[in-house]
A and B are shown apart, each in its own frame.
Chain A
Amino acid sequence: MVAKIYRKCGDIDTKEMLFLPYLRYNQSMRETLLHYSFDDSSSSLSASGAWTLDEVERLRTLLEGYDKKLRTHSPETLYLDLSQVTRFDTAGLILLRDYIRDWQQRGITVELLGMSEKMRKLYVLIADAPQAKIVLRYENFLAEIGKATLRTLQDAYAYVQFLGELTVHLLRLLLKPWHLRLKESVYHMKQAGIGALPVIALTAFLTGMVIAYQGAVQLAKFGADIFIVDIVGISIVREMGPMLTAIVIAGRSGSSYTAEIGAMKLTEEISAMRTMGFDPFRFLVIPRIVALIVVLPLLIFFADMVGILGGMMAAKWELGISWHLFVQRLYEVLALKHYLLGLLKGPFFAFIIATVGAFRGFLVEEKTESIGLQTTASVVNAIFLVIALDALFSVIYTEWGL
């Protein structure tokens, strides 16, 4: 703390020199100062040094200290001498302006002395700037919930609208099937299909293995070891295979559809396409849907095979069921219908993933975070809808006794 106060006592004159108690600004401490004196009806204030943004905290403390003194003296006139100011900028002058305004409001006449031409120009520029606070648009909790609800409903409505428009385009395509963009469709089949094989193989293999391991522990208690084949076979083929494939594809391809179409919308490529007479549905949306509808059942088949392989391996290690026995039992218990019922879900899941992905892409706005938000929403929506649809399939299959 280096607070030194020089006081020259007298009837009229009290001169003080105030240093700031912060050592870390050693350099500027010597630079930035506020000298002042008071007499009966007036006060002289002399500013010197740097009145800049880097110094605002120190300047504020200096001015506050002076302001306190001023309140006890309450002079009529204040002579503010700025001739010793070496550096200044907008921030420093705004700070000074705020105090000057405050003093003037308290009925003190403020006389500015020794302003350089440069400083006067800048001061004039900021002198009448509004002091109003910037109002931020905050919303309360209830309003947020209301808005979110409304947004969800609007999105759902827009999705239905999108599906309607898509139906019109699909019907048109039905009349002229050769209008399908085959090249794009095949490209997306390759992207979504072959590219997904490794990750689907890994997830399906591990899922099959985990199901077998979990089942083995329970079945071993009853000595019903061989039923592991039923559990693995039916659960993989009917449920796990289609589901995990759909979830992987929603995360992999659904998200990329949103990002691709979203980026095209940002760069106005979609608008350009429209004006040139290329319908984005025909060129962008339908090829992606067709590609996924073709590819997803194939991937489900692949996931089924790899999943059962994982189960077989776990059954061999954990329960000692030989490959031969496993396959023989599989022939007996795994009816063709289970396999077909699982595969049948594929095109429906594919439709949901591709339409949600494309739909979310079209919702992208001209903001950097928009693509991220829509891609997240695309994956979350697609996975949710896939699971909901899967539940619906379960109910239907059960009701029909399949």
Chain B
Amino acid sequence: MSRNVIEVENVVTRLGGRMIHEGVSLHVQEGEIYAILGASGSGKTVLLKEMIMLLQPLSGTIRILGDDLRTIGYKEASALRRSWGVLFQFGALFTSLTVAENIALPLKEFSDADATLRDEIVLSKLQMVGLKPEVASLYPSELSGGMIKRAALARALAMDPKLLFLDEPTSGLDPVGARRFDALIEKLRDTLGVTVVMITHDIETIRGIVDRMAILAEKRTVAEGSLQNVLQSKHAFVKAFFKDINV
């Protein structure tokens, strides 16, 4: 059994007077591709934001790489932030910076790498995500949707993170582009050994590359495990979600 890199236990969340989670638990193991599934409004994004310290749950514990997020100190928190990369749904590239500057920003702030080495790291990250070196000097407004996602992924990978959080990585991509993006994520996991946690609605992604998943419904985790395990669940939402899938 691999070691858990993320442990979420009994998380309760209330936002603006509305209960979002009433006891969500999930466990992500090292080196796997893990998906968080659920209907719109089931609190997937809120849970992701809690994992990356953008929001705090009302109660429950979240443990990332061994650190408890409730009791974590300032120094440990900033170290933890450097050991993960986050790909936001719409990329969230800084529009006033070029792609190269976007990727080099964490390197510039958090390491002693000189300009030449930074450039080389940027170029190798671009190559990893399948972008041409020419893209480096473009601004985000000059990129297509798929390129923005790849560039944002390159930025998330800049510091060689142990953990990669992806918010709907294939949304807004065409089917061919989406499968390529899946393949890219799988390749990065295999070569870099990074653990991937993603929110997705894409059934092809789930079938293709996801190792294990958690399904959120009725404010809790209703199923967790591999696709086979999850399909055994008798829960109505799980059945509805997977009714078209045959494994």
Contact = CB atoms under 8 A, between A and B. Distances in A.
Nearest to A89: B160
Interface residues of A, number: 32
Interface string B161-200: 0000000000000000000000000000011110000000
A136 B139 CA distance: 11
Given A91-B113, A129-B127, A121 B121 contact: no
Contacts of B139: 367
Contacts of B96: 367-369
Nearest to A120: B191
A344 B160 CA distance: 67
Interface string B78-100: 00000000000000001110101
A53 interface: yes
B95 A134 contact: no
Interface string A111-129: 0000000100110111011
A284 to B, nearest CB: 24
Nearest to B124: A129
Contacts of A89: 160
A293 B141 CA distance: 37
A401 interface: no
B161 to A, nearest CB: 10
A122 B128 CA distance: 10
B125 A134 contact: no
A366 B141 contact: yes
Interface residues of B, number: 31
A56 B113 contact: yes
Contacts of A132: 123, 133
Binding site of B, secondary structure by majority: helix, strand, loop or mixed?
helix
Contacts, number: 80
Contact of B120 (A98, A135, A136, A137): A98
Q: Which of B116, B125, B159, B160 is the most central at the interface, judged by chain A CB atoms within 10 Å of its CB?
A: B160
B122 A134 contact: yes
Interface of B: 94-96, 98, 100, 107, 111-113, 116-117, 119-125, 127-128, 133, 136-137, 139, 141, 159-160, 190-193
16 contacts: A56-B117, A57-B112, A91-B111, A94-B121, A125-B128, A126-B128, A130-B123, A131-B123, A132-B123, A133-B116, A134-B119, A134-B136, A134-B137, A135-B137, A365-B141, A367-B139
Given A126-B128, A134-B122, A368-B94, 14 more contacts: A54-B111, A56-B117, A90-B124, A90-B125, A94-B121, A94-B124, A122-B192, A125-B127, A129-B124, A134-B133, A135-B137, A137-B137, A367-B139, A368-B96
